[in-house]
A and B are shown apart, each in its own frame.
Chain A
Amino acid sequence: DQQVKQNSPSLSVQEGRISILNCDYTNSMFDYFLWYKKYPAEGPTFLISISSIKDKNEDGRFTVFLNKSAKHLSLHIVPSQPGDSAVYFCAANSYTGNQFYFGTGTSLTVIP
């Protein structure tokens, strides 16, 4: 049961442009969402999070938007840099449990 979906397995963006990574979820009990970044041969690294009481959270070049009615969140990276090239996982959690449900990841390539 795929409760968190990332429908784009890969994305290529020119350096300096905006990268938009999308994530959809099905479980209306989810109330906390995170984005993780993963380089090859490393574990996922926390990037940014958002609680369901907000619709936007910004941290430097990274902004996460949450649309609860559409059960959709997105990660915006602007401007994109070559070092941002990695796999990005969306994850969700509900107040009823402490496990995170991960999407399948989107591989971002930022072209210099």
Chain B
Amino acid sequence: EPEVTQTPSHQVTQMGQEVILRCVPISNHLYFYWYRQILGQKVEFLVSFYNNEISEKSEIFDDQFSVERPDGSNFTLKIRSTKLEDSAMYFCASSPDRGKVTDTQYFGPGTRLTVL
């Protein structure tokens, strides 16, 4: 069964450094998402991406965040200058389209980001 994959599974970085989290969505999906979950808290929406542009973003997704689909398969989340509070699990998700019947989002296993 097709699945969303994410790399790396764990990323440790120093505060102020840039990180790029990578995702390979399910191949025929059109919508891509990033979520994060700070330890012990709820899963929070960051951004959605369709047709090579951001379609929706939350207030968390400020100027230090960016997303890109550099080729036909990868979907990346870049954090330009990491802060301690960026430490979280970051989940990538994809969905086939926006129609309600198939609106289910399929999640990857997550990348644990630790900012020291």
Contacts and interface: CB of A to CB of B under 8 A. Distances in A.
Interface in A92-112: 93, 95, 97-105
Contact of B45 (A31, A42, A44, A99): A99
Contacts of A44: 43, 91, 107
User: By DSSP majority rule, is chain B's interface helix, strand, loop, or mixed?
Assistant: strand
Interface string A40-76: 0111111001010000000000000000000000000
B10 to A, nearest CB: 10
Contacts of A34: 104
Interface residues of A, number: 26
Contact of A32 (B56, B91, B103): B103
B6 to A, nearest CB: 8
B48 to A, nearest CB: 5
Interface residues of B, number: 27
A43 B91 contact: yes
A95 to B, nearest CB: 8
A43 B56 contact: no
A25 interface: no
Q: Which 7 A-B pairs have the closest CB atoms?
A: A43-B107, A99-B45, A102-B43, A104-B42, A44-B107, A46-B104, A43-B109
A87 to B, nearest CB: 10
B75 interface: no
Contacts of A100: 45, 105
A54 to B, nearest CB: 12
Interface string B47-63: 01010000110100000
A30 interface: no
Interface in B79-116: 91, 93, 98, 100, 103-110
B55 A98 contact: yes
B42 A93 contact: no
